[in-house]
């Protein structure tokens, strides 16, 4: 209730309305379970991860979504520079084009993670504050748009709609792209398409730039530790990339801008490596994972290939 009073004061909301909304939130033990990181020692496996998001069902749904929204996707690409392929990839990975938008009450998920975030999580205090902020954004958004905060449903983390925007992302990046004077990320494909494109534009998507290039290694000069040190943050020029043993070919040699060596582990098998650009990094701002970014990219590619058959 103290948090409710603080939110009401900061947002100039009715104190009793906020208290009533938060007071009706339920603790969800499964949400606390899902938010935990994988056990220490769990190996990452790109092929397994990829198989979860790129299959015949998603590809077929992606083709239909693209066909149904061809003009809107083209308009979003023209206005923002974000390829339709990437927009389609994101919506497919997130919710299979609206088929799986989550069944948790958003207020329950956010309240659970705001007030009862698992203490054994290595970043519990920081994450709890993040979800308190998201709860505040959610209540403010609900009040402003006259939506019952007890009705909306989403993911276990409180993400909503076809693109799975957190409340703060909805507030900052969601746009009315169908011109009906309201923003609806649950039922308006146009608003979803425009909002995803607008999100990437806000995170400095660069028109015409590839997301990544193939890379191989020169064993005689390879300094893998140095190449992996910045993780997925683009840091190296083409020249410095090459000087550390990363071999690029063709168009990659003319790339302007920094690159990152992206490692996708494959369990006990050899990892996959690519040279990630600033646009690859932009996709990871949607979900902080190189595996996620590559799944988005490759689902978009698979849908495109299927469209062109």
| Separation between Cα atoms, residue 104 and residue 160, nearest integer Å | 10
The answer to whether residues 248 and 183 touch, using CB atoms and an 8 Å cutoff, is no
Tally: H helices and E strands in the chain: 15, 7
From 77, 85, 94, 302, active-site residue? 94
CA distance 126 to 105: 23
DSSP code per residue over 232-291: TS--B-HHHHHHTTEE--GGGGG--S-BEEEEEEETTEEEEEEEE-HHHHHHHTTSS-HH
Cα gap 150→216, rounded to integer Å: 52
How do strand 269-276 and strand 246-247 relate by DSSP bridges?
A: unpaired
By three-state DSSP, how is residue 85 classified?
Answer: helix
Measured CA distances, 287 to 35, 52, 78, 90, 283 (Å): 14, 16, 24, 10, 7
Six token digits for residue 234: 């683009």
94 is catalytic: yes
Q: How far apart are CA 63 and CA 56, in angstroms?
A: 11
Q: Which of 288, 285, 282, 271 is nearest to 211 (CA)?
A: 282
Annotated catalytic residues are 94
């Amino acid at each position: 209730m103290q948090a409710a009073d603080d939110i009401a004061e900061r947002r100039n909301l009715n104190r009793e309305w906020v208290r009533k909304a938060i007071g009706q939130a339920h603790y969800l033990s499964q949400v606390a379970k899902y938010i935990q990181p994988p056990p220490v020692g769990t190996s990452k496996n790109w092929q397994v991860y990829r198989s979860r998001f790129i299959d015949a069902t998603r590809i077929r749904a992606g083709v239909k979504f693209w066909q149904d929204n061809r003009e809107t996707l083209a308009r979003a690409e023209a206005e923002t520079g974000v390829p339709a392929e990437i927009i389609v990839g994101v919506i497919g990975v997130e919710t299979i084009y609206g088929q799986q938008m989550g069944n948790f009450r958003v207020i329950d998920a956010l309240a659970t993670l705001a007030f009862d975030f698992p203490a054994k999580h290595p970043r519990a205090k920081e994450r709890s504050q993040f979800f308190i902020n998201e709860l505040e954004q959610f209540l403010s958004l609900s009040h402003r748009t006259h939506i019952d905060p007890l009705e909306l449903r989403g993911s276990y983390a409180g993400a909503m709609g076809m693109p799975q925007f957190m409340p703060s992302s909805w507030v900052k990046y969601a746009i009315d792209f169908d011109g009906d004077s309201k923003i609806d990320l649950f039922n308006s494909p146009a608003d979803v398409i425009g909002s995803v494109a607008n999100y990437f534009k806000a995170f400095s998507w660069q028109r015409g730039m590839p997301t990544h290039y193939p890379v191989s290694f020169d064993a005689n000069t390879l300094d893998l530790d140095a190449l992996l040190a910045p993780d997925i943050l683009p840091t190296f020029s083409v020249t410095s990339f090459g000087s550390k043993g990363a071999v690029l070919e063709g168009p990659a040699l003319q790339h302007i801008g920094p690159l990152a060596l992206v490692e996708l582990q494959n369990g006990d098998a050899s990892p996959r490596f690519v040279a990630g650009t600033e646009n690859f990094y932009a996709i990871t701002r949607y979900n902080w994972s190189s595996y996620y970014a590559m799944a988005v990219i490759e689902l978009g590619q698979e849908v495109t290939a299927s469209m062109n058959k």
